[in-house]
């Protein structure tokens, strides 16, 4: 028997249908628009510029870029404002007495007590030692040693979807993996396939934007994009977009390359199984145990 619903129930059902249609329309709008589109149903906090995305996709990483297994020594340290120096006579019997730790002031100088101020910014430690000897013109002063006790001027930056974004002191051994872990790791909203490392460049020069394949670095030990950090490097972690999440899975440049497992020798008397040339592109099914 036909049942007549009250008018407010009919209105509620109609409103529900409209809401469902609106939701589907929003989802389709998010799928049909690219990242950063004003019509997207999800607005990410940290977005890649179109130019940065294009450079990332087209990047061919030169072999000369140092990586985790091919780290290079850093060039001689150049002292800059923010560093702290310790200047001492090499001879403990020297008549010269200098102040303790010397911060390099914004004007690039340090204080040598009664011997005046000395310009040190832009110089190496060897250059500063020679300059101190020339300025402290005292008989039997001997040579001087200069040590950088605090290195504040050489930093790299981790920006975007990390738990502690900011500037971090560079010691010279850090890689992209070290940098992201120092910044507290990735957030849940991070786009793991779109991380980039960009290097500072002059306004009229070309740009260096390198792709970072995070999943391959941490899960496969792939060092091809685990670059050694340099002064001024920026690691940028964009947000995962609604369009990326539901409609298009971005592929990291090195992610489509076949990954082959190394042979793992079985331990004597153990339960290890030798797996030679096992492909990591698909699931590995262990062999049945011997009867």
Q: What is the 3-state secondary structure (H, E, C) of the chain?
A: CCCCCCHHHHHHHHHHHHHHHHHHHHHHHHHHCCCCCCCCCCCCCCCCCHHHHHHHHHCCCCCCCCECCCCCCCCCCCCCCCCEEEEEECCCCCCCCCCCCEECCCCCEEECHHHCEEECCCCCHHHHHHHHHHHCCCCCCCCEEEEEEECCCCEEEEEECECCCEEEECCCCCEHHHHHHHCCCECCCECCCCEEEEECCCCCCCCEEEEECHHHHHHHCCCCCCEECCCCCEEEECECCHHHHHCCCCCCCCCCCCCECCCCCCCCCCCCCCCCCCECCCCCCCCCCCC
Distance separating alpha carbons of residues 158 and 214, to the nearest angstrom: 14
Instruction: Report the pLDDT value the prediction gives residue 139, as an integer from 0 to 100.
Output: 78
| Torsion sign across C-alpha atoms 94, 96, 98, 104 | negative
- Token pair for residue 28? 């389709």
Beta carbons within 8 Å of 47's beta carbon, 6+ residues apart = 35, 36, 238, 239, 241
Average pLDDT per run of 10 along the chain, which is 291 residues long?
Answer: 51 50 49 44 64 64 81 92 92 84 95 92 96 86 89 94 96 96 95 91 86 92 93 94 65 57 51 40 48 56
Instruction: Report the pLDDT value the prediction gives residue 163, as an integer from 0 to 100.
Output: 98
Distance separating alpha carbons of residues 168 and 151, to the nearest angstrom: 11
Domain covering 50-67+154-246: architecture: Roll (3.10)
Which CATH class for the 84-150 domain? Answer: alpha beta
Q: For the chain, give every domain's residue range.
A: 50-67+154-246, 84-150
Beta carbons within 8 Å of 203's beta carbon, 6+ residues apart = none
Instruction: Report the pLDDT value the prediction gives residue 118, as an integer from 0 to 100.
Output: 95
């Amino acid at each position: 028997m036909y049942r007549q619903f009250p008018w407010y129930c009919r209105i509620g059902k109609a409103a529900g249908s409209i809401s469902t249609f609106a939701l589907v329309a929003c989802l389709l709008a998010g799928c049909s628009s690219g990242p950063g589109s004003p019509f997207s149903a999800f607005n990410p906090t940290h977005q890649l510029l179109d130019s940065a995305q294009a450079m990332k996709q087209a990047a061919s990483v030169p072999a000369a870029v140092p990586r985790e297994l091919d780290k290079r020594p850093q060039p001689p340290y150049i002292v800059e404002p923010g560093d702290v120096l310790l200047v001492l006579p090499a001879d403990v019997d020297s008549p010269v007495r200098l102040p303790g730790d010397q911060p390099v002031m914004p004007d690039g100088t340090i204080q040598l007590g009664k011997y005046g101020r000395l310009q040190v910014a832009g110089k190496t430690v060897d250059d500063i030692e020679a300059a101190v000897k020339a300025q402290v013109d005292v008989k039997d002063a001997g040579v001087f040693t200069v040590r950088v006790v605090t290195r504040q001027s050489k930093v790299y930056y981790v920006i975007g979807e990390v738990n502690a974004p900011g500037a971090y002191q560079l010691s010279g051994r850090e890689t992209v993996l070290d940098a992201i872990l120092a910044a507290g790791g990735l957030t849940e909203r991070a786009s793991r396939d779109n991380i980039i490392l960009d290097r500072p460049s002059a306004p009229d020069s070309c740009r260096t934007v390198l792709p970072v394949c995070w999943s391959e670095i941490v899960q496969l030990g792939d060092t091809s994009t685990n670059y050694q950090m340099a002064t001024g490097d920026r690691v940028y972690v964009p947000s995962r977009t609604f369009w990326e999440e539901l409609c298009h899975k971005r592929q990291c440049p090195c992610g489509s390359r076949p990954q082959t497992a190394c042979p793992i020798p079985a331990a004597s008397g153990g339960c290890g199984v030798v797996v030679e040339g096992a492909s990591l592109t698909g699931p590995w099914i262990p062999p049945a145990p011997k009867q």
